[in-house]
Amino acid sequence: MTVHLSETPETPSPTGSGRAAGPRPPRFLRACRREPVDATPIWLMRQAGRYMAEYRALRERHPILELIKTPELACQVTLQPIQAFDLDAAIIFADILPLLEGMGLELEFVRGEGPVLHNPLRTAQDVERLATPPPEETLAFTLEAIRLARRELDPRGIPLIGFSGAPFTLASYAIEGGSSRHYTRTKGMMMDAPETWHRLMDKLATMVGTYLRAQAQAGAQALQLFDSWVGALSPQDYREHVQPYSRKALSIAAQAGAPIIHFGTGTGGFLEEIRDAGGHVIGVDWRVDLDRAWKRLGTGVALQGNLDPVALLAPWPELRRRAQQVLDRARGRPGHIFNLGHGILPQTPVDNVRRLVDFVHEATANSRTPLP
């Protein structure tokens, strides 16, 4: 059910040039808790990335793992999109795979091929040998980057998001040794060696949960669990082989008290199960209508999404039309965080990002959302 609110476009927008006037109300964190906001908050997955000239310039001088593992550089990249656009949240510049390095996997980013893990997990012994070190030992660089970024962001009133890959998505990289099309080895372990699978997922859940909790303790004011590839599964496989471990990870993470966004792509067949695994905000891709998703998920969670990232390549009038459609489907519900359905594409024009961010604020300013 949608409540149509009257809009007052004649009222000057509190956004845009408002940034210079001092800290803004943290509308991103309010939306995570489904509290009323002065305008719909927006941030973009992979908002610090190759589409920005500032980022490409840094990448010319530093390999990606060096950027991630040097806290000053990771902090610098984290701030690039915040300096360029009126975004409502920063997300720490990091990657989901260094967590696996800390467990004993050999990670390399191969140009043109993406991430490669040179000793993928194939046997029970491989899984048994995996370490579960405290994140403070193996992921200290990201925790330190979070501390540095908070110092820069606090004066601007911009909250910082920490994140981790989810157990399933991490398992798929660890078992396949990189990206995959059919996930045959990953599903193979589920089907042929369920005990090994469950042992692996349990270790990953512990690592992911403690890593997320540590990020919140280091200063991240919200957390996102990325289960980017979980849409490769049937709902039944999700329930049997994944959900208990996402739940465990999210339950450890929740101990730190920060709101949690639970994101996956291709999840239209089991949104309810994603919600039931945990998270205050459910992140959905563009393959579902936001209003239908909300109807299925109920009023107990906020929703993040869900513009197709390809829309950011369109001429501005078409991009605006599509952004408005997303807003229309969320209208009158508290707890909408505008985002893409997946990461921003490298060929995205910077101007379109700027216009989108400002449009979302202007189109929703003063359309106060009632409490549920």
Report the catalytic residues: 46, 50, 59, 95, 173
175 Cβ contact list (under 8 Å, min separation 6)? 120, 121, 122, 185, 186, 189, 200
Site for a second copy contains 236 (CB under 8 A):
yes
Under rule CB under 8 A, residue 4 binds a second copy: no
Q: Give least dist CB 25 to a second copy, A.
A: 31
Q: For residue 268, state whether it binds a second copy (rule: CB under 8 A).
A: yes
> Could you say which of 16, 269, 332, 349 contacts a second copy (CB under 8 A)?
269
User: Footprint of a second copy on residues 310-339 (CB under 8 A)?
Assistant: 310-311, 313-315, 318, 322, 325
User: Can the peptide bond before residue 306 be classed as cis, meaning omega within 30 degrees of 0?
Assistant: yes
CA 345 to mean position of chain CA atoms: 15
Question: Which among 224, 230, 130 is positioned nearest to 180, based on CA atoms?
Answer: 230
Q: Which residues inside 291-310 make contact with a second copy, applying CB under 8 A?
A: 292, 306, 308-310
Binding residues for a second copy, rule CB under 8 A, total 36
Whether the CB-CB separation of 40 and 56 falls below 8 Å is answered with no
Distance CA 278, CA 303 (A): 13
Q: Which stretch binds a second copy (CB under 8 A): 33-41, 147-155, 179-187, 351-359?
A: 179-187
Map the footprint of a second copy across residues 203-232, applying CB under 8 A. Answer: 231
The answer to the question of residue 350 lying near a second copy (CB under 8 A) is no
Distances (CA, A) of 98 to 116, 169, 211: 12, 13, 11
Residues in 63-102 that interact with a second copy by CB under 8 A: none
Spatial distance between the Cα atoms of 97 and 106, rounded to a whole number of angstroms? 10
CA 41 – CA 314 distance, rounded (Å): 22
> Which residues here bind a second copy, judged by CB under 8 A?
182-184, 187-188, 191-192, 231, 233-237, 266, 268-270, 286-289, 292, 306, 308-311, 313-315, 318, 322, 325, 341, 345, 347
